[in-house]
Amino acid sequence: MGMLILVVGKRINLFPVLMIVTGLAWVVACRMHIIETTALFPTELCGRVVVLDPGHGGVDPGAHEGERILEKDLVLEIADKTRKFFVNAGAEVIMTRNQDHDLAAPGEKSLAVRKRQDLRARVELANTAKADLYLSIHVNSARDRGKSGLEVYYSEKQGSKELAEFIAEESRRYTGRVRSTQPGRFFVLRETNMPAVLVEVGYLSNPEEKNLLHDKKYQERLAWIIFQGALRYFEQNNVPTTTGKLN
């Protein structure tokens, strides 16, 4: 019967149980620095501090199609899927938000002031933690509904461009939907102290891509692309481990 076992009169499939136990053991060993090298799992992400920044939130919906389809919701779903890949590989993940809110001061009424406070808080979170990477996730929109594809913007910090190109390459491989990589002057790219990219994962204004962005499997694929790009960045650069901490 292979992976089937009888437990108190019930048959359960052992395979998923074994996968979970092995996965947990791996993450614990990695965190405790028991594992330094192994051919089975990538160790480059062990102990790395990665900031995942789902753009917008709260009063700021970001790009939208009508009132129901909002960038802030889609990027949160994609960021959460990305988080799981990083955590399973032993990285420490800081999410700038994991719910529908911005990071501005409570009670601040001016939307312009809220936006400034929100972006400043996201950057401070990453700089204070001395994170190894900053990955901001957004969804695009344009008047031209024919526009589609992933765009990666990178900061001037060393390693950012390389990281952007790895993510674009992974996107070429897994979705075939790459539009460009280019320098970006966004606040979160200018002010963060570590390699940072802002990934516009697709165009909500493009009917075909709008449907894809809602598809859980496609979201998973986008998360995988971002994760793989970051993994390749660490693998190929042999970047020293961070002194950053999650607190």
Taking the complex as a whole, the smallest distance from the CB of residue 211 to Zn ion amounts, in Å, to: 19
**Site map 124..153 versus Zn ion, x via CB under 5 A:** --------------x---------------
Task: Name the region of 111 (left: φ>0; alpha: ψ -120 to 50; beta: rest).
Answer: alpha
Nearer to Zn ion, 62 or 90 (CB): 62
Should residue 202 be labelled a site residue for Zn ion when binding is judged by CB under 5 A?
Answer: no
Of 158, 139, 159, the closest CA to residue 214 belongs to 139
Question: How many positions of this chain bind Zn ion (CB under 5 A)?
Answer: 3
69-70 and 64-65 beta bridge pairing: antiparallel
Taking the complex as a whole, the smallest distance from the CB of residue 216 to Zn ion amounts, in Å, to: 21
Q: Report the chain's C-alpha Rg in angstroms.
A: 19
Cα–Cα distance between 230 and 214 in angstroms, integer?
Answer: 24
Cα–Cα distance between 191 and 173 in angstroms, integer?
Answer: 31
Work out the widest C-alpha separation in the chain, in whole angstroms: 65
Cα→Cα distances 65→87, 112, 179, 204, Å = 32, 22, 21, 7
Nearer to Zn ion, 138 or 177 (CB): 138
Taking the complex as a whole, the smallest distance from the CB of residue 62 to Zn ion amounts, in Å, to: 4
Name the helix (H) or strand (E) containing 5: strand 4-7
What angle, rounded to 10 degrees, do the helices at 216-237 and 207-214 form?
80
Nearer to Zn ion, 174 or 187 (CB): 187
Taking the complex as a whole, the smallest distance from the CB of residue 205 to Zn ion amounts, in Å, to: 13
Residue nearest to Zn ion as judged by C-beta position: 138
Nearer to Zn ion, 30 or 70 (CB): 70
Taking the complex as a whole, the smallest distance from the CB of residue 119 to Zn ion amounts, in Å, to: 11
**Site map 89..128 versus Zn ion, x via CB under 5 A:** ----------------------------------------
Which 3 state secondary structure label does DSSP give 106? Answer: coil
Residues 42-71 that bind Zn ion (CB under 5 A): 55, 62
Taking the complex as a whole, the smallest distance from the CB of residue 63 to Zn ion amounts, in Å, to: 6
Which residues form the interface with Zn ion (CB under 5 A)? 55, 62, 138
